[in-house]
Amino acid sequence: MNSPILLTKLNIPQIRRNLIDRSRLINQIERCMDVPLTLISAPAGFGKTTLINQWLNNDHHGHGGNFQVGWLSLDDEDDDPNRFWEYFLAAMERNLDEKSCFETAHSLLQGLLEPPIQNLLVQVINTITSRPVHFTLIIDDFQLIHHSSILDGITYLVEHMPENLHLVLLTRADPPLPFGRWRIQGKLNEIRTTDLRFTIDEASKYLQEVQTLNLDSAEIQALEERTEGWIAGLQMAGLSLRDLSPIQADKFISEFSGQNHLILDYLTDEVLIRLSDDLQAFLLKTSILSQFCPSLCAFVCSSESDQTVASGKYSQLLEELDHSNLFVIPLDNQRVWYRYHHLFAELLRVRLNEKYPEWIPLLHRKAAHWYEENGFPFEAMHHAISAQDINLATDVIERTVRKPATWSTGNIARMLEIVNTLPKEVIANRPWLRIYLSGILYVGGQPCLADEMLEDVEKSLVDVNFPSSSVMDELFLYTSTFRGFYAATLGYSVKAVHLAKKVLALLHEDDKRVYGHALATLGQAEFSTGDVTAAARYYSKAVENQKRNNAHFTAVTWTGNLADVLITQGRLHAAVEICNPIIRSTDKDGNPESAVGYLQTFHAAILYEWDQLDEAEEMIFSGLRKMQNFGISPNFGRSHAMLAMVQQAQGKVVDANNSMEIAVQIAQRSGSVRYIDRIAAYQARLWLLQGEVTKAIHWAEGWMELRQELSSSNQLPEYLVENEQISAAWILFAGNRLSDALMIIEPIIASATQYGRLSSLVEGMAVKALILAEQKGNEIAAQQSMLQAVQLSRPEGYIRTYLNLGRSCFDLLKSLTVKDNKIKIYRDLILDHFQSHHKVKPTLYESHQHGDYEKLSSREIEVLNLMASGMTNEQIAQKLYLTNNTIRAHSTHIFDKLGVHNRTEAVTKARALGILR
Amino acid sequence: MNDRAKYEIVVMGTLGDRWADWFPGMMIDHEEQGGNYVTRITGIVQDQSNLIGILQTLINLGLPLLLVKKQD
């Protein structure tokens, strides 16, 4: 959303001078401050936007400085839930002091097919409620919205609207919303066509004062009657009457009144006749543009010879049009971008189509070129398609995806959307386009589709006899490189290494094309199979290579991957050291935001390990935001899984579940078994932390069975599944399946020791210690194992790993006899962390071990928390958007599970058990 | 149900032939009805969304609808 064009969507359109007094309507609009929804519904040209503008410019809001407004002008493309709610949030945020107040809401919108809108709206409602403001959100052109999920969201919002939030919809047609119900409930303030028509008084004032025409009352009445108070009609009539002598004016009015043609058609012709030929041509030519600035006008309107001088001329021309009320609307304060009034543009296009149909494709082609030159690929494609020039559109896309800038600042997800609308045959003949598109699919979270696309390209290269074999070699070089890289991420290490080595053998080290990619492929393959030392070496070389070649996007993303390797190696500080300078870098350092956002997740993982939860959450949010501008955040399920873990640690159970659900969806959409398994392990850990032991164990058992099957049929994957294994061991331990847990953890410790994967080693040793501690006669071995974990993890300051292991870990750590003072200080630090905020929520599964009550669900814990804060059932119901009955049912379950009879007992017992702080 | 159907739409006022491209495949006729000029638009619409689009265009042009009828 950084493009200046898109930002104009959130600008309040600039008001025209010389407006007539419409206090009767202003007073009616003012009622919007008393009701949730105001509907201003009338066809085009009835002055809806102008009127709301007039109201905004009035000072008599009576709400002091607390009156705030958000504006959103919709376009055809916005009838899409994700896009709509993104803009919705952006419009709300624009005028609230903090930028980040809707981060959680944003994180719910990461390109999901069905974003959880209700949750998002609850966040918005809570944020607004807590602020001392009166916030009015105005949405223009709401008739463009038909998607039921958006309409459902608006309905929900209106029905749960806090008193200090108001919605104003400007629309040409009533949207399908339950207005009948809202009217009866007094929730609706309505201004309709009849209200908006100019009365004879207003028409008279308008023509005399604003248009400064000298007309008698009979003439005014004739105009008002013929236009029926339609403002656009009166405005056109006014323009036609300008500079006419009284006799001519008289003649015009009588002809006009007797006219039976479409008023606007007639009037437009009248207005155009009075303009110079140049100006007429200008209006007709620019009518194909949905917005325009002087330089674009110059390019589209001028012949090639005079373009250099033209821009200044057009800047002046646009201002003149603005001044003479010729239906242009400035879109920004600097008066650079304008658009025509929609109706006027339509009327002009009819004339263009009638008079100069042969110009139309040419004009669109010119517009496409200007937009492409100036870095607006989407607008360029739109015009290329309007010119019915599919080849041009495809050229634009191909050139765009091959530009490095696209990978730094472009919205590649949208690019993909547009590509999908192009005919398959056109794409099929463009191997280069397809190679780059596969890259987009890959970073967009679809590695399997990306690989299929390249497989197709390779097949077509063999089928079709390509003229030059050097072009062919070049294409194969790229497909092999990328297919190798995808194979590495998908876990097919053997294939990855094979392809990467083949590529490396063909190239010299100074090669600027794909040498670095092949190195990264080897890095990823080694990482997959667990050789982190080799992985770090290859990735470092790959990053170096990309830096040398100024390939910023890959340099930064692979630094992120390198950080991931370092974290596994237990080199947390080293990982922070390579991330920090990039995160702190500025635009001019050339590090693409999108890639920086990706890298931030790894940094957040370290902050989480150090138990700096708020910082970790902030880091992920800002990273997701950066990726989202690029359109690739959906790819990265791990960001959301990490976010879920952080939120769980912060005690935000509902948020944690939302985030995990998103991570799961993203993984499933990727179609990669490896992605899905990885996220499932995170989900299982989260369940365990929430006390859902049964679910967690169910996962662990299923996972082990599958491993068993794969192993007996010799189909175990080529990649390491350490995280899954540790998760399973930990969960089985929590379920008291000690020998099963031990059987999994021993080999992990051995392999992690051999290859130097310290993070896994520390966690493995700690889990093993806990298992041993539960076994009779192994107390000393348990102590030794825990002590070893502590010694290993001290230099890098691991904390979260221990905290997640819960009460039994706390007990074991506490009972350790530590001689070395440094180790003792570190051990005490971990214990402090346990005691400060985490004693609060010692994870619940241990109470299961102690077995004296049934686990509470996350919702029940939430209800219990609110009970503890002294809320009534009704208040809790309101807060959680549930019914009173549901809350009562939850309470009954809570009492049953805790074996108590009332709220006070429940809260006391929950505190004693450590469920509540 | 087959979505394609022939419709007849009548609006108040006269819509010039120059608008024909905005209603592809439709016939536009003018006639006088009780002293008023009306425009009759007839032809095949592809589906209901197509029909709604046509109606919306007419409404945007400020032509009040008098009749919308599906023909057999």
Distance between CA atoms of residues A364 and A383, nearest Å: 5
Residue B51, pLDDT score = 92
Lowest average pLDDT, out of A54-58, A627-631, A652-656, goes to: A627-631
Residue B34's identity, in one-letter code, is G
Helices A246-258/A217-227 angle, 10° precision: 30
Q: What's the mean pLDDT in A706-724? A: 90
Torsion of CA A507, A511, A517, A518, to 10 degrees: 20
The minimal CB distance from A44 to the residues B14, B19, B60 is found for B60
Distance between CA atoms of residues A561 and A525, nearest Å: 12
The minimal CB distance from B14 to the residues A232, A260, A342 is found for A260
Q: Is the pLDDT of residue A385 over 60?
A: yes
pLDDT category of residue A1 using cuts at 50, 70 and 90:
very low
Residue range A71-109, pLDDT digits in tens: 999 988 888 888 898 889 888 887 776 555 677 777 777
Chain B residues inside the 8 Å CB shell of A343 = 60-61
Q: How far is B36 from chain A (nearest CA, A)?
A: 8
Interface test with A, best of B33, B41, B61, B65 (most A CBs within 10 A): B61
Residue range A796-842, pLDDT digits in tens: 999 999 999 998 999 999 999 999 999 999 999 999 999 886 544 44
Residue range A737-762, pLDDT digits in tens: 999 999 999 999 999 999 999 999 99
Q: How far is B37 from chain A (nearest CA, A)?
A: 7
Q: What's the mean pLDDT in A6-17? A: 73
Q: What's the mean pLDDT in A312-341? A: 83
Buried b (16+ CB within 10 A) or exposed e, B45-64: beeeebbeebbeebbbbbbe
Please tell me if residue A172 touches chain B, with a CB cutoff of 8 Å: yes
ipTM comes to: 0.80
Q: How far is B14 from chain A (nearest CA, A)?
A: 5
Q: What percent of chain A has pLDDT over 90?
A: 46
Residue range A569-592, pLDDT digits in tens: 999 999 999 999 999 987 677 788
Residue A844, pLDDT score = 42
The per-residue pLDDT of chain A, averaged, comes to: 87
Interface test with A, best of B11, B12, B14, B55 (most A CBs within 10 A): B14
More confident position, A77 or A656: A656
Chain A residues inside the 8 Å CB shell of B24 = none
Please tell me if residue A445 touches chain B, with a CB cutoff of 8 Å: no
More confident position, B18 or A167: A167
Residue A731, pLDDT score = 95
Residue B40, pLDDT score = 94
**Secondary element (H or E) of residue A85:** helix A81-93
pLDDT category of residue B69 using cuts at 50, 70 and 90:
very high
Q: How far is B58 from chain A (nearest CA, A)?
A: 10
Distance between CA atoms of residues A435 and A454, nearest Å: 6
Residue range A468-478, pLDDT digits in tens: 678 888 999 99
CB neighbours (10 Å) of residue B7?
Answer: 18
The chain A residue lying nearest B14, using CA atoms, is A261
The minimal CB distance from A343 to the residues B16, B19, B60 is found for B60
Residue range A241-286, pLDDT digits in tens: 888 888 888 888 888 877 677 778 888 888 888 888 888 999 999 9
Q: Is the pLDDT of residue A132 over 90?
A: no
The minimal CB distance from A262 to the residues B14, B56, B59 is found for B14
Q: How far is B16 from chain A (nearest CA, A)?
A: 7
Lowest average pLDDT, out of A396-410, A672-686, A752-766, goes to: A396-410
Q: What percent of chain A has pLDDT over 70?
A: 92
pLDDT category of residue A110 using cuts at 50, 70 and 90:
low
pLDDT category of residue A38 using cuts at 50, 70 and 90:
very high
Residue A351's identity, in one-letter code, is R
Residue range A558-568, pLDDT digits in tens: 999 999 999 99
Residue B56, pLDDT score = 86
Structure tokens at A630: 């690029």
| DSSP per-residue string spanning A822-855 | HHHHHHHHHHHHIIIIITTS--THHHHHHTSSPP
Q: What's the mean pLDDT in A308-312? A: 67
Q: What's the mean pLDDT in A61-79? A: 80
Residue A500, pLDDT score = 95
CB-based contact A261 B60, cutoff 8 Å:
no
Lowest average pLDDT, out of A322-326, A436-440, A557-561, B28-32, goes to: A322-326
The chain B residue lying nearest A44, using CA atoms, is B60
* Residue B38 near residue B31, CB atoms below 8 Å: yes
Instruction: Please tell me what DSSP assigns to residue A104.
Output: H
Residue A351, pLDDT score = 92
Give the range with max mean pLDDT: A423-437, A525-539, A581-595, B41-55: A525-539
Q: What's the mean pLDDT in A352-369? A: 94
Token pair 């009457």 is found at A241
Residue A495, pLDDT score = 95
Q: How far is A146 from chain B (nearest CA, A)?
A: 11
Task: Mark out chain B residues that contact chain A at CB-CB < 8 A.
Answer: 13-16, 18-19, 21-22, 37, 56, 59-63
CB-based contact B59 A172, cutoff 8 Å:
yes
Size of interface A-B (CB pairs under 8 A): 49
The chain B residue lying nearest A173, using CA atoms, is B56
Q: Is the pLDDT of residue A643 over 80?
A: yes
The chain A residue lying nearest B55, using CA atoms, is A173
In this structure, are strands A188-192 and B5-12 parallel, antiparallel, or unpaired? unpaired
Task: State residue B36 phi and psi, 5-degree precision.
Answer: -105, 150
Under DSSP, is residue B38 helix (H, G, I), strand (E, B) or coil? strand
**3-class secondary structure for A189-204?**
EEEEHHHHCCCHHHHH
The minimal CB distance from B56 to the residues A173, A264, A350 is found for A173
Torsion of CA A166, A172, A173, A176, to 10 degrees: -40
Residue A97, pLDDT score = 61
The minimal CB distance from B16 to the residues A45, A261, A343 is found for A261
pLDDT category of residue A501 using cuts at 50, 70 and 90:
very high
The chain B residue lying nearest A146, using CA atoms, is B49
A714: exposed, middle or buried (Cβ count in 10 Å: 0-12, 13-18, 19+): exposed
CB neighbours (10 Å) of residue A451?
Answer: 23
Q: Is the pLDDT of residue A151 over 70?
A: yes
Lowest average pLDDT, out of A533-542, A726-735, A765-774, B8-17, goes to: B8-17
pLDDT category of residue A852 using cuts at 50, 70 and 90:
very low
Residue window 185-244, chain A: list those with CB within 8 Å of chain B: 230, 232-233
Q: What's the mean pLDDT in A763-784? A: 94
Q: How far is A260 from chain B (nearest CA, A)?
A: 6
Residue A877, pLDDT score = 84
Strands (E), B1-72: 5-12, 26-33, 36-45, 65-71
* Residue A291 near residue A338, CB atoms below 8 Å: yes
Q: Is the pLDDT of residue A127 over 60?
A: yes
CB neighbours (10 Å) of residue A5?
Answer: 16
pLDDT category of residue A307 using cuts at 50, 70 and 90:
low
Structure tokens at A648: 């769980």
- Measured CA distances, A820 to A717, A786, A827 (Å): 43, 14, 11
Please tell me if residue A507 touches chain B, with a CB cutoff of 8 Å: no
Distance between CA atoms of residues A898 and A915, nearest Å: 11
pLDDT category of residue A35 using cuts at 50, 70 and 90:
very high
Residue A4, pLDDT score = 47
CB-based contact B59 A343, cutoff 8 Å:
no
